[in-house]
Structure 1
Amino acid sequence: MQVLTHPIGRCLPVWTLVVQLVLRGSGAYADEATSNCKLTFESERKVLKRIEPLGHRNFTAEAKIGEDKYSYVFQLCGDAGGVLGAGVIQVKGQETTVIGRYNTTEVIGASDFVWLQYGHGEKYDTHCSQEQRRAMLMIFCNRNLDLGQLEVVQENRIREQNCFYLFKLETSAVCPPLEHKLSTGSILLIVAICLLAVYLVVGFLYQRLVVGAKGMEQFPNYAFWAEVGNLSADGCDFVCRSRDRAEPPNYTAVSTEPSDEVPEERDDDLLPM
């Protein structure tokens, strides 16, 4: 018996994939990286979304306490180091300790940093009244780093209660957007340039089409601006030149015009010797 498959049935998986891609592009899956985190207050979800670029990635750090070396792994709302439910883990040799779980998440945001806490970690053996461990992460703004390096700041376990592991991470994801504002001087300069452009275009068209001017005469108020240019050149010449322009001549000029003076006649040679 031959089973016929309806064309719609064959196309359904394709349409499902298309719908998923559309939803993903429209932002329906925008919070996928943080959806696993269980927040104490859902109002904190908006702050958590600021650090979504950190999702789906393990951040590691190394620390040495005495003679012991520890490795730490952090993942945002995901299984750190592949440990189910763990947001932060501590690794020493073959031993793995869950410091905090993302099913107990608290987050606080400011303009240039986000504070994240994972609770319900494994209990201390002898320290801190054998309470559950918790991890705190201070995520700071650094515009020069897309994703920075995880750093261990402190392991505080000398208290009777409220002990914690403190980590630091820098990223540009929590940086506030830069505001590009024009200064008053820039606005005035733009307005002046626009007015000058309108003046030149309208004046050129008027001179050419209405007055019928040609050549440089098409420039609006050409005579006025030419006079301004000449005066500016004269002023620059007067201020900038150091040579005296009225120097006295070093020689006597010979006049080419006839003189009105009558030469004195001498008659000494007419007297009898």
Structure 2
Amino acid sequence: MVAMFLSRCELCVLAVVSLCCIAVVRSETCLDDVKHGDTFLKTLNKFKGKVYKTKGIHENGDTYDYKIGICTRASDDHGFEECAVVQEKSEKGEKKSVCVGRLNATTVVESPGGWIELHYGNGTSYNNHCHGTGRSARILFDCDQFAGKGNPVFVEENNEDNLCYYLFYWRTREMCDKSLSPGAIILIIFAVVLAILLVGMVGGFLYLRFVVGAKGYEQIPFYSHFVEFGNLQADGCDLVCRSRGSVPACIQKPPIITDKTTAPNRDLDSETDEDDRDDTLLPM
């Protein structure tokens, strides 16, 4: 059976990978004898002591009701005192219940990828398959920022190999990392700097407009700096990007004039220059 939130194939990969995780805690009293300081146990403690209900449709089309207790018994019926996961089905007005997993066979697995698996074993034994072993429930908690506290979803009953189990998938916001990532920190800093600049621009505009009485472009704060900065950019572009570069006026060569009619009288100019020099030599 395929869950509405995650494909069966993806869940099977998660279930297999969970066997290789390094953070594994086994307890006969669920979470009572485990250190409270562990991160993943703190997350499970938010669900501890509550019973959640869900429905499951099996491959043969049968529909069952499931009660899942997080470190608490899921049913008050006699004989189910240690049962954490109960499967129920009503036939002809009679309720039939099966214990899928017990509290005294609890395993908690934490994945480096940020999800947790709560495993209940030692349930009611199978009759005709799984070599008569006891049933077990595997509850996979995963992060979903938009799921709120979430609710367990039945995925499948795997009874085709030696790893027989009932798989439930639980999307919850509680599993998400509350710490800020480097990207989020950079985004926050950028937003703060942008807000400061906007407030400064608006405040400066109002001050120049109504207090100083500026008009036109003079109302823009730091307008002269912007203009100067633009000129500097233009000069830099002219210096770097243009192939001929910029030549200072002091070393520029005079233009070549080919039209004789407009050419200056060089002889007259030279005579005038010599007269000026001679005047300085004559006595007063």
SS at match of 1:181: helix
Q: Which moved more, 1:93-102 or 1:145-154?
A: 145-154
Task: Check the 8 A contact 2:28/2:103 in 1, yes or no.
Answer: no
Distance 1:194 1:69 in 2: 61
| SS state at 1:129 partner | helix
Q: Deviations over 1:130-158 (max 9, x none)?
A: 11211111122222222333222111112
Counterpart contact for 1:124–1:133, Cα < 8 Å: yes
Higher-Rg member (1/2): 1
- Number of the residue aligned with 2:9: none
One-letter amino acid matched to 2:124? E
Q: Distance in 2 between matches of 1:108 and 1:157?
A: 22
1:80 counterpart SS class:
coil
Give the TM-score of the pair, scaled to structure 1: 0.52
Question: Which residue is 1:207 aligned to?
Answer: none
Aligned 8 A contact 2:108 2:118 in 1: yes
Map 1:209-224 to 2 at 5 A: none
84, 88, 102: which one aligns with 1:87: 84
- Runs ≥4 in structure 1, deviation > 6 angstroms? 193-196, 225-228
Q: What CA deviation, in whole Å up to 9, does each residue of 1:71-119 have, x standing for no partner?
A: 2211100111333111111123322111111222222234542211111
Deviations 1:35-90 (A, max 9, x none): 95158976995412203332323222232442543222111001113331111111
Question: What's the counterpart of residue 37 of structure 1?
Answer: 30
Corresponding residue SS for 2:41: helix
1:70 corresponds to which residue? Answer: 64
In the other structure, the counterpart of 1:181 is 185
**Letter paired with 2:106:** T
Q: CA deviation at 1:164?
A: 1.1
C-alpha change, 1:176 and 1:100, in structure 2 (3 Å) is same
8 Å CA contact 2:88, 2:97 repeated in 1: yes
Number of matched pairs = 181
Give the fraction of aligned pairs with identical amino acids, expressed as a percent: 22
* 1:186 CA drift (Å): 3.7
The equivalent of 2:158 in structure 1 is: 156
Q: For the residues of structure 2 that align with 1:114 and 1:101, how far apart are their CA atoms?
A: 18
Query: CA separation of 1:46/1:102 partners in 2, compared to 1, >3 Å: closer, same or farther?
Result: farther
Is residue 165 of structure 1 aligned with residue 166 of structure 2? yes
Q: Secondary structure at the match of 2:85?
A: strand
CA distance in 1, matches of 2:62, 2:219: 85
Q: Cα–Cα, structure 1 residues 185 and 67, in superposed 2: closer, same or farther, change >3 Å?
A: closer
RMSD in angstroms over aligned alpha carbons?
Answer: 4.0
Distance in 1 separating the partners of 2:70 and 2:101: 11
Q: Name the CA distance, whole Å, in 1 between partners of 2:120 and 2:215.
A: 77
Alignment CA distance shift 1:120-1:177 (3 Å): same
